[in-house]
């Protein structure tokens, strides 16, 4: 009897305790359902609203308390202090009606405070692991200061170096950029997105932003559906497959339909075919800009088209907040669409762990890489990103020269080595070339220097003094290039030449007859044909980040073997643009060119020298004809025929000789970075899997492997190598 009474008592107690309490949802989706059921329409559109942080957190407290803001976007112009971030988060979590946390976004593109080389430079290392390590280090550093979400990686394919944003992506090749995109997502997000050391990634700018006509940012992208699917979309698919939490819709129109109002790209492909379950944020004001595009009559139509197309969060222009409640009220936008957008946003906030740990993790600063480790990594990555374009034997320079002269506007320059999108990076942290060289050479070596001219000034007054300095030295290092403000967003150039009067400076120094190496710091490929014709050696250093001066000195004096290879074609002149390696054959191969300039680039995709030489030999195929469901192994011997150990980036290219549609003359389908001691030979092996490596969108836009003849190359770059043929036979 007693037991029965006891059980009744316990049961009654439980009923009283839990009556009316929602059952704690066991998983994220249930918790999201519960939240959405409770949310007002204002709170829902509040979750779809991202606000630009312009300092003074107090300005936003009321809106946060009312649940009208979902996310803050910081920028190099206004970096939110950690305490400000948690102050706003505390209001959202502890004072708003539903306690939904904020998510804080920032452009952590190639570093947060420790700035690494610009992404197009890093891609020249052809090393996905390096990309992943840089992203992971950058994520940790940014998370320590309260960032949850980065607007990166930027994975726009770029074939036009006039476009300032070529600096931010991974070059012209889809296959390589796809591999780098996935690596960056892995690095930013880590193995556990809810970790306080990770950042939610944001693949941008979806899609075909780099196809801007004339290389003019924001301009029209006129691309066929086939080019969209084969050239511009695959890096985004790779990023989605790697688990990217978010995407950003681009500013540009895609053949008449703005990317921010494009149902096909955002919903049919991204959310439908690819089953992406994160959320899409518009780019800055890109919803409102659809009015200027002429795609929307007013903000009501712009908002309607954006939400229907599949944009879930509105960056900065506030139109979702202003217009969506009324549109739902009038029945012009279904509340289901709003709920789906809110669901996606809440899903990422849950996955990021913001509901369980909304505030900055105080232990984070004590964990993760030390400052010394980060600087060492920045130095290694910068050196790995530099590309040796020419060397007639002058390099590596001896450290015990009696004297050496550094000449040019980049001798002492620090701020420009940060490159575009330098986040919280500071010039004071940058090692200039002069410092790197001084620390590298023997104490007995007299290091002279003169700037000679500005980066893009018109005055040649200081050139004579620079010539006089050069004449005193045993050898000259020219330090040339572009400022960081000449690349990045809206920073396009109509010329690819050295800016200002740098060419005059170069020719004046050349006239001294001294041995000369040119180090070029830039955010884009440049037409440096004169340097290539006349100067003894050229090291293309890009904008190499805070350890740039040390990394360049490591390469110049041989403490680091330059091994980088170009991921963008270098035009001979801007008149050649666009010029890229995976072009079509045309009906008159080799005839589509100019009467006043060869049709080939100055330096091709995949090109880069080292301090040794390599020989390719003995190309072998495991078979010369296979069915589409079989694989083919391609091997080649690579020998280091020089006196110095080094690394070689061995590349595999294919060509689908004919098909239901025309195909590029070459397509990268594999690469391997190998280390070889002097005189050492290795056999490098690649596996061609037709479905993975040979599928195309055929005449009917079906993604298939077409039987037929293929060429295959293994070589050091896209314009040379050992060649063979194989056939894909009908099933
Ligand atoms: C921009 C850029 C985008 C960036 C965003 C936030 O205009 O196009 O890449 O992430 O603003 O700063």
How far, in Å, CA of 109 to CA of 424, rounded? 11
How far, in Å, CA of 475 to CA of 516, rounded? 6
**455, 416 Cβ separation under 8 angstroms:** yes
Residue-wise pLDDT for 134-185, tens only, equals: 999 999 999 999 999 999 999 999 999 999 999 999 999 999 999 999 999 9
pLDDT value, residue 13: 55
Residue 73 alpha carbon to ligand 1 centre in Å:
10
**372 vs 175, 419, 694, CA distance in Å?**
34, 22, 44
> 3-class secondary structure for 213-257?
HHHCCCCCECCCHHHHHHHHCHHHHHHHHCCCCEEEECCCEECCE
Residue 251 alpha carbon to ligand 1 centre in Å:
10
Mean pLDDT for the stretch of residues 350-374? 96
Residue-wise pLDDT for 57-66, tens only, equals: 999 999 999 9
The total of other beta-carbon atoms located within 10 Å of residue 596's CB is 7
Query: Which atom of ligand 1 is closest in space to residue 202's alpha carbon?
Result: 10
Asked if pLDDT for residue 18 goes beyond 50, the answer is no
Asked if pLDDT for residue 20 goes beyond 90, the answer is no
Residue 672 alpha carbon to ligand 1 centre in Å:
33
pLDDT value, residue 554: 98
Residue 421 alpha carbon to ligand 1 centre in Å:
9
pLDDT value, residue 501: 98
Pocket test for ligand 1, best of 163, 218, 421, 489 (most atoms within 8 A of CB): 489
Query: Which atom of ligand 1 is closest in space to residue 285's alpha carbon?
Result: 7
Residue 587 alpha carbon to ligand 1 centre in Å:
41
Say yes or no: CB of residue 429 within 6 Å of ligand 1: no
Asked if pLDDT for residue 702 goes beyond 50, the answer is yes
Say yes or no: CB of residue 451 within 6 Å of ligand 1: no
Asked if pLDDT for residue 601 goes beyond 70, the answer is yes
Helix (H, G, I), strand (E, B) or coil at 148: coil
Which CATH number is 614-728's, of 2.60.40.10, 1.10.490.20, 1.10.8.60, 1.10.540.10?
Answer: 2.60.40.10
Q: Atom 10 of ligand 1 has which residue's CA nearest to it?
A: 151
pLDDT value, residue 17: 47
Mean pLDDT for the stretch of residues 344-366? 97
Say yes or no: CB of residue 149 within 6 Å of ligand 1: no
Asked if pLDDT for residue 373 goes beyond 70, the answer is yes
Asked if pLDDT for residue 21 goes beyond 60, the answer is no
Structure tokens at 394: 């002058």
pLDDT value, residue 333: 98
Rounded to 10°, the helix 28-38/335-351 angle is 130
pLDDT value, residue 566: 99
Sorting pLDDT into bands at 50, 70 and 90, what band is 668? Answer: very high
Residue 151 alpha carbon to ligand 1 centre in Å:
7
**217, 261 Cβ separation under 8 angstroms:** no
**Radius of gyration of the chain from its Cα atoms, rounded to whole angstroms:** 28
pLDDT value, residue 7: 59
Residues of the chain with CATH 3.40.50.1700: 377-576
**682, 638 Cβ separation under 8 angstroms:** yes
Sorting pLDDT into bands at 50, 70 and 90, what band is 23? Answer: very low
Asked if pLDDT for residue 50 goes beyond 80, the answer is yes
pLDDT value, residue 4: 61
Say yes or no: CB of residue 201 within 6 Å of ligand 1: no
Say yes or no: CB of residue 75 within 6 Å of ligand 1: yes
Say yes or no: CB of residue 107 within 6 Å of ligand 1: yes
Adjacent-strand bridge partners of 711: 655, 725
Mean pLDDT for the stretch of residues 366-380? 96
Instruction: Tell me the percentage of the chain whose pLDDT exceeds 90.
Output: 94
Sorting pLDDT into bands at 50, 70 and 90, what band is 75? Answer: confident
Distance between alpha carbon 161 and the CA centroid of its chain, in Å? 15
pLDDT value, residue 491: 98
How far, in Å, CA of 274 to CA of 267, rounded? 9
**254, 200 Cβ separation under 8 angstroms:** no
Structure tokens at 325: 């409640």
Asked if pLDDT for residue 634 goes beyond 50, the answer is yes
Surface-to-core class of residue 463, CB atoms within 10 Å of its CB (0-12 exposed, 13-18 middle, 19+ buried): buried
Distant-in-sequence, close-in-space partners of 636: CB < 8 Å, separation ≥ 6: 616, 617, 618, 619, 620, 650, 683, 684, 714, 722
Asked if pLDDT for residue 1 goes beyond 80, the answer is no
Asked if pLDDT for residue 84 goes beyond 70, the answer is yes
Mean pLDDT for the stretch of residues 200-206? 98
Helix (H, G, I), strand (E, B) or coil at 51: strand
pLDDT value, residue 10: 57
Query: Which atom of ligand 1 is closest in space to residue 105's alpha carbon?
Result: 6
Q: Atom 7 of ligand 1 has which residue's CA nearest to it?
A: 284
Distance between alpha carbon 581 and the CA centroid of its chain, in Å? 20
Adjacent-strand bridge partners of 151: none
Sorting pLDDT into bands at 50, 70 and 90, what band is 55? Answer: confident
pLDDT value, residue 246: 98
Residue 489 alpha carbon to ligand 1 centre in Å:
8
Asked if pLDDT for residue 647 goes beyond 80, the answer is yes
Sorting pLDDT into bands at 50, 70 and 90, what band is 76? Answer: confident
pLDDT value, residue 494: 98
The 8-class DSSP code of residue 493 comes to -
Say yes or no: CB of residue 106 within 6 Å of ligand 1: no
**691 vs 240, 652, 669, CA distance in Å?**
20, 16, 12
Q: Record the pTM.
A: 0.95
CATH of domain 2-365: 3.20.20.300
Pocket test for ligand 1, best of 283, 314, 423, 488 (most atoms within 8 A of CB): 283
How far, in Å, CA of 27 to CA of 23, rounded? 11
How far, in Å, CA of 116 to CA of 377, rounded? 9
Residue-wise pLDDT for 316-342, tens only, equals: 999 999 999 999 999 999 999 999 999
Residue-wise pLDDT for 277-315, tens only, equals: 999 999 999 999 999 999 999 999 999 999 999 999 999
Residue 315 alpha carbon to ligand 1 centre in Å:
9
Residue 284 alpha carbon to ligand 1 centre in Å:
6
Nearest Cα to Cα of residue 354 among 247, 196, 203, 137: 196
Say yes or no: CB of residue 68 within 6 Å of ligand 1: no
The residue length of the chain stands at 731
pLDDT value, residue 63: 97
Say yes or no: CB of residue 283 within 6 Å of ligand 1: yes
How far, in Å, CA of 482 to CA of 409, rounded? 9
Mean pLDDT for the stretch of residues 673-694? 98
Query: Which atom of ligand 1 is closest in space to residue 154's alpha carbon?
Result: 9
Pocket test for ligand 1, best of 109, 112, 151, 200 (most atoms within 8 A of CB): 151
Query: Which atom of ligand 1 is closest in space to residue 205's alpha carbon?
Result: 9
> 3-class secondary structure for 354-412?
CCCCCCCCCCHHHCCCCHHHHHHHHHHHHHHHCEEEEECCCCCCCCCCCEEEEECCCCC
Mean pLDDT across the chain:
96
Mean pLDDT for the stretch of residues 69-95? 93
Distance between alpha carbon 579 and the CA centroid of its chain, in Å? 20
Q: 175-188: b or e for each residue (b if 16 or more CB lie within 10 Å)?
A: bbbbbbbbbbbbbb
pLDDT value, residue 651: 99
Say yes or no: CB of residue 151 within 6 Å of ligand 1: yes
Q: Specify the pairing of strand 475-481 against strand 516-521.
A: parallel
The 8-class DSSP code of residue 161 comes to T
Say yes or no: CB of residue 53 within 6 Å of ligand 1: no
Sorting pLDDT into bands at 50, 70 and 90, what band is 12? Answer: low
Residue numbers annotated as active site: 283
**544, 551 Cβ separation under 8 angstroms:** yes
Surface-to-core class of residue 581, CB atoms within 10 Å of its CB (0-12 exposed, 13-18 middle, 19+ buried): buried
Instruction: Tell me the percentage of the chain whose pLDDT exceeds 70.
Output: 96
Mean pLDDT for the stretch of residues 584-612? 95
Which element (helix H / strand E) includes 104?
strand 103-106
**421, 458 Cβ separation under 8 angstroms:** no
Residues of the chain with CATH 3.20.20.300: 2-365
**612, 641 Cβ separation under 8 angstroms:** yes
pLDDT value, residue 22: 42
Asked if pLDDT for residue 26 goes beyond 70, the answer is no
CATH 1.25.40.10 fits 377-576, yes or no: no
Mean pLDDT for the stretch of residues 596-623? 97
Query: Which atom of ligand 1 is closest in space to residue 151's alpha carbon?
Result: 10
Say yes or no: CB of residue 204 within 6 Å of ligand 1: yes
pLDDT value, residue 5: 61
Q: Specify the pairing of strand 475-481 against strand 708-717.
A: unpaired
Query: Which atom of ligand 1 is closest in space to residue 250's alpha carbon?
Result: 8
């Amino acid at each position: 009897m007693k037991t029965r009474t006891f059980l009744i008592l316990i049961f009654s107690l439980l009923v009283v305790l839990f009556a009316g309490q929602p059952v704690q949802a066991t998983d994220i989706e249930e918790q999201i359902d519960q939240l959405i059921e409770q949310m007002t329409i204002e709170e829902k559109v509040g979750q779809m609203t991202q606000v630009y942080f312009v300092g003074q957190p107090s300005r936003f407290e009321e809106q946060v308390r009312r649940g009208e803001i979902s996310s803050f976007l910081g920028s190099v112009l206004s970096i939110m202090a950690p305490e400000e971030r948690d102050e706003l988060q505390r209001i959202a979590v502890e004072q708003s009606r539903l306690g939904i946390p904020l998510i804080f976004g920032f452009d952590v593109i190639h570093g947060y405070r420790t700035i690494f080389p610009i992404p197009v430079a890093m891609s020249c290392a052809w090393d996905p692991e390096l990309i992943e390590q840089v992203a992971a280090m950058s994520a940790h550093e940014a998370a320590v200061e309260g960032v949850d979400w980065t607007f990166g990686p930027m994975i726009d394919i770029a074939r036009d170096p006039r476009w300032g944003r070529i600096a931010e992506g991974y070059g012209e090749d889809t296959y390589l950029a796809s591999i780098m995109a996935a690596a960056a997502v892995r690095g930013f997000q880590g193995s556990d997105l809810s970790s306080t050391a990770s950042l939610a990634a944001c693949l941008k700018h979806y899609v075909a932003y780099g196809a801007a006509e004339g290389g003019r940012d924001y301009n029209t992208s006129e691309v066929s559906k086939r080019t969209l699917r084969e050239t511009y979309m695959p890096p985004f698919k790779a990023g989605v497959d790697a688990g990217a939490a978010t995407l950003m819709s681009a500013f540009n129109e895609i053949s008449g339909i703005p990317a921010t109002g494009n149902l096909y790209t955002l919903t049919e492909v991204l959310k439908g075919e690819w089953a992406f379950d994160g959320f899409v944020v518009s780019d800055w004001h890109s919803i409102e800009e659809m009015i200027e595009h002429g795609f929307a009559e007013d903000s009501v139509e712009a908002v309607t088209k954006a939400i229907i197309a599949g944009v879930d969060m509105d960056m900065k222009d506030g139109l979702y907040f202003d217009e969506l409640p009324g549109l739902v009220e009038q029945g012009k936008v279904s509340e289901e669409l709003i709920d789906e957008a809110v669901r996606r946003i809440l899903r990422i906030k849950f996955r990021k762990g913001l509901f369980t740990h909304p505030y900055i993790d105080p232990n984070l600063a004590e964990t993760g890489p030390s400052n010394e480790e980060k600087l060492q990594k920045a130095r290694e990555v910068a050196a790995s990103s530099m590309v040796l374009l020419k060397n007639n034997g002058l390099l590596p320079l001896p450290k015990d020269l009696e004297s050496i002269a550094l000449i040019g506007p980049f001798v002492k320059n620090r701020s420009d080595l940060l490159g575009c999108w330098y986040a919280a990076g500071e010039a004071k942290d940058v090692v200039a070339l002069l410092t790197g060289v001084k620390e590298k050479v023997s104490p007995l070596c007299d290091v002279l220097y003169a700037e000679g001219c500005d980066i893009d000034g018109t005055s040649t007054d200081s050139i004579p003094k620079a010539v006089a300095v050069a004449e005193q030295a045993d050898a000259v290092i020219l330090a040339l290039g572009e400022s960081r403000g000449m690349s990045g967003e809206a920073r396009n150039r109509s010329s690819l030449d050295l800016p200002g009067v740098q060419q005059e400076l170069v020719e004046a120094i050349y006239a001294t007859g001294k041995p000369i190496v040119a180090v070029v710091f830039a955010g884009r490929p440049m037409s440096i044909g004169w340097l290539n014709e006349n100067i003894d050696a050229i090291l293309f250093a890009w904008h190499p980040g805070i350890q740039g001066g040390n990394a360049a000195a490591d390469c110049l004096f041989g403490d680091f073997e330059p091994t980088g290879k170009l991921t963008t074609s270098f035009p001979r002149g801007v008149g050649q643009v666009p010029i890229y390696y995976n072009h079509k054959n045309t009906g008159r191969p080799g005839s589509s060119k100019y009467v006043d300039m060869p049709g080939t680039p100055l330096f091709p995709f995949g090109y880069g020298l080292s301090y040794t030489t390599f020989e390719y030999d003995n190309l072998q195929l495991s078979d010369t004809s296979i069915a589409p469901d079989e694989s083919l192994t391609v091997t080649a011997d690579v020998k280091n025929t020089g006196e110095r150990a080094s690394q070689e980036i061995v590349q595999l290219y294919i060509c689908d000789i004919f098909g239901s549609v025309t195909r590029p003359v070459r397509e990268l389908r594999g690469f391997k970075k190998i280390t070889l001691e002097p005189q050492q030979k290795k056999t490098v092996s690649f596996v061609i899997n037709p479905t993975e490596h040979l599928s195309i969108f055929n005449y009917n836009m079906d993604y298939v492997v077409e039987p037929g003849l293929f060429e295959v190359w293994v070589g050091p770059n896209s314009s040379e190598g050992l060649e063979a043929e194989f056939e894909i036979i009908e099933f």
